Chains A and B, each alone.
With several copies, the nearest count.
Chain A
Amino acid sequence: MSSLITKVRAKQIEQLLENGKRLDERGLLDTRELKIEQGVIEKAEGSARVYLGKTEVLVGVKVETGEPFSDTPKEGVMTVNAELVPVASPRFEPGPPDENSIELARVVDRGIRESRAIDTGKLCIEEGKKVFIVFVDVYVLNHDGNLIDASAIAAMAALMNTKMPNYEVKDGELKIKQGYKPLPMRNHPITVTLGKINNKLLVDPWLEEESVMDSRITFATGEDGNICAIQKGGSGYFTPQQILEASKIALDKAVELRKKLKW
């Protein structure tokens, strides 16, 4: 967008890419520095703050009780909500979620849901009547690009940090016992996004790159290396070859990240 970055800047980014370089001196397949702080909101059942370069996302998890969906009467419910909080960017405005925050929430949701990361079967209190509801609230605090990966990692880190009442269910009655136990998890998806600028693929695009890139593609992969969610975004396209290439890069990066995070 010419109003956000001069065309000169765009040209500069493109020329660097031709030589395999990026404005911030990363290689094309390098992610920015990732820092995770868990348990930063003591009063929430779970929380994590993730810094991906200068991008900063806080996720808080609340666990409450409520009704299950009628088509899954024995399963707990997870719901993901994302807010592009106006402190994070001069372009974010207060108000109800727009298409960008809804897409962000739904992509984060999909990675967790499709990989069956949470063992929702263990969150049932009384079949069809009462289950635990896990609210995952994604709060974007500083937008420097690639909100999807930062949010997805922060959501997983917050879920892994989530403690819930040490309950026991007897005859459909919920009994709260002393202490807490962790939220039952069975998979740990990792989400990797690539951008495309002038037919070059690059991992973890930051804000300046996002402002000139054609399109992006996101892959979430589970512990078994299978893909559990994909989302293409942006007003450009990918060739079928680029998609295969991107998926390979994303899977490799996920393996790399998984090792680092020990997830």
Chain B
Amino acid sequence: MNDKTDKLIDKKGIRGDGRKADELRSLKLQVGVLSNADGSAYIEHGKNKILAAAFGPREMHPKHLSQPDRMVLRCRYHMAPFSVPERKSPAPSRREVELSKVIKESLEPALFLELYPRTGVDVFVEVLQADGGTRCASITAAALAIADAGVPMRDLVVACAAGKIDDTIVLDLYDVEDKLGSADVPVAYMPNLNAVTLLQMDGVLSSSELEKAVNMAMDGCKNIYAMQKEALKTKYMVVKETEE
């Protein structure tokens, strides 16, 4: 988080992209977009454009990574070279490795890992365009891909960030706010179970600001959750129509 240079939110509480403090960016969710994956989803979250695919449960390769008593979830979060202003090398950066790990750990609580011992589920996330908040959008899409693959889940996982710009707690930071704001708090959440499965924070917040930000992020999650369910239903209905 850098020093803020200009005002990120004006006196009327309107942000650089025209949103109010507690307003989500526009979202578009699609399920079942790739024919070769067992499950897949596409998300446009603001200008973020992200594809997620799930494969499995299937035999693990290499085999020695499988576990005798549970399924293994593997995740890869990967950015396309053209997804960011300066071309990114396709080799995984340390940031991508960390995000792959926290995304995996945000999804695991939703899975019945013990139901499929010795198998693996692979989730691949490809960020085609990045606009701030990619990890959250990736989790929202990855959960849909896993559901689309037919892997039983306790709940969907949905993610959204809140943060602080110019002393205001706001929802769903975009690129500029992410860079110039004073804190970013990505949250992943399972609404039915009231369970936070990812929480990180960059920047500086007081205790009470943190509480406010987490609550705001969870509210954002609940809104996106409705869209997730809608996206699944839409695909299901389309599939059903096709089948009839």
Contact = CB atoms under 8 A, between A and B. Distances in A.
B85 A43 contact: yes
A87 B52 contact: yes
B196 A240 contact: yes
A232 interface: yes
Given A137-B81, A141-B51, A230 B200 contact: yes
A87 B53 contact: yes
Nearest to A222: B204
Contacts of B37: 87, 90
A89 to B, nearest CB: 5
Contacts of A238: 195-196, 199
Contact of B98 (A94, A96, A102, A115): A102
A239 B199 CA distance: 11
A96 B91 contact: yes
**Interface secondary structure of B, over-half rule:** mixed
Contact of B80 (A60, A94, A248): A60
A234 B36 contact: no
Given A41-B82, A89-B36, A227 B206 contact: yes
Interface size for chain A: under 10, 10 to 19, 20 to 34, or 35 or more residues?
Answer: 35 or more
Contact of A88 (B36, B100, B199): B36
Given A43-B47, A110-B202, A139-B128, A99 B35 contact: no
A143 interface: yes
28 contacts: A2-B69, A42-B129, A43-B85, A43-B131, A58-B128, A62-B87, A81-B81, A87-B37, A87-B52, A87-B53, A90-B58, A114-B204, A135-B87, A139-B80, A139-B126, A141-B126, A144-B35, A215-B105, A226-B204, A227-B205, A230-B201, A231-B199, A232-B102, A232-B198, A232-B200, A235-B109, A235-B113, A243-B199
Given A87-B40, A230-B200, 9 more contacts: A60-B83, A62-B82, A87-B124, A135-B82, A139-B128, A228-B203, A229-B201, A235-B105, A247-B211
Interface of A: 2-3, 40-44, 47, 54, 56, 58, 60-62, 64, 72, 81, 83, 85-90, 94, 96-97, 99-100, 102-103, 105-106, 110, 114-115, 135, 137, 139, 141-144, 215, 217, 222, 225-240, 243-244, 247-248, 251
